[in-house]
Structure 1
Amino acid sequence: MIEEPLQVSIKILEKEYRIACEYHEQDDLRASARLLDNRMREIRQSGRVIGTDRIAVIAALNIAHDLIQIQRSRPNYGEDTNRRLRQLQDQVNAALVTEHDEQHPEPQRDAEQHTAQTSTEPPLDASDERV
């Protein structure tokens, strides 16, 4: 069954917006709207920026700046994740080979042939998958 996007109503600076999102993303959308609304209110209350469009751009720049600072403070996060995924893939492959060998024991004379077959099979690759 394919779920249709959900229409979520959010309010930013007293203006209501209806945004389509997936059911499982609605809490994050609401949290994002609250964050943006709070930032825009802070900027508006400072009195230095006038106009909703300008306030929205400054708030977006501030949030983007915060994100970049967080990413810089954790430069190895992506590398660590990729390394951990490779380790998990290796463990899964090893477990599959062990399970296969236990369920299908081969005579000693076929062991070399089995090794040659398994070494030519591509490893399990989920590098394009998202966690």
Structure 2
Amino acid sequence: MSSSNSITVQILDKDYSIMCPQEERSNLVSAARYLDGKMREIRSSGKVIGADRIAVMAALNITHDLLHKQEVAEVQTSGSTREQVRDLLERVDVVLAADPNERQS
């Protein structure tokens, strides 16, 4: 990759130069800002000291949030699928219960 594919982001007052395709730059900048915000929240709480520990705690918090959102999405998808199956079964029941002469029309 050429240097034109490098972007510098700042996380917790430190610059990081990262190789990144042009089309992914805005996503990388957004991710860096999000991480920076989470790390600053943790640092300002005063409960965690040291950039490495703050980074690990931020990573754990972000990962926890991501996994929780995935679980919620899976439950919602599963519920939606069950509803669709129930609806289809009800339709089949209605058709099967109908007079056979009506089905031929």
TM-score, normalised to structure 1's length? 0.54
The aligned residue for residue 44 of structure 1 is 43
1:14 aligns with 2:8: no
Superposition deviation, residue 10 in structure 1:
0.0
The aligned residue for residue 32 of structure 2 is 33
Number of equivalenced pairs: 76
C-alpha distance in structure 1 between counterparts of 2:36 and 2:51, whole Å: 11
C-alpha distance in structure 1 between counterparts of 2:59 and 2:34, whole Å: 10
> What secondary structure is seen at the aligned counterpart in 1 of 2:8?
strand
TM-score, normalised to structure 2's length? 0.68
Could you report, residue by residue, the CA deviation over 1:57-115 in whole angstroms, capped at 9, with x for unpaired residues? 000000000100110011138xx8xxxxxxxxxxxxxxxxxxxxxxxxxxxxxxxxxxx
Q: Which runs of 5+ in 2 are unaligned?
A: 82-105
- Matching residue's letter, 2:15: E
Superposition deviation, residue 22 in structure 1:
0.8
The aligned residue for residue 72 of structure 1 is 71
> What secondary structure is seen at the aligned counterpart in 2 of 1:16?
strand
Superposition deviation, residue 42 in structure 1:
0.3
C-alpha distance in structure 2 between counterparts of 1:38 and 1:58, whole Å: 13
Superposition deviation, residue 9 in structure 1:
0.5
Q: Which runs of 5+ in 1 are unaligned?
A: 81-131
Superposition deviation, residue 23 in structure 1:
0.7
> C-alpha root-mean-square deviation of aligned residues, in Å?
1.9
C-alpha distance in structure 1 between counterparts of 2:35 and 2:26, whole Å: 14
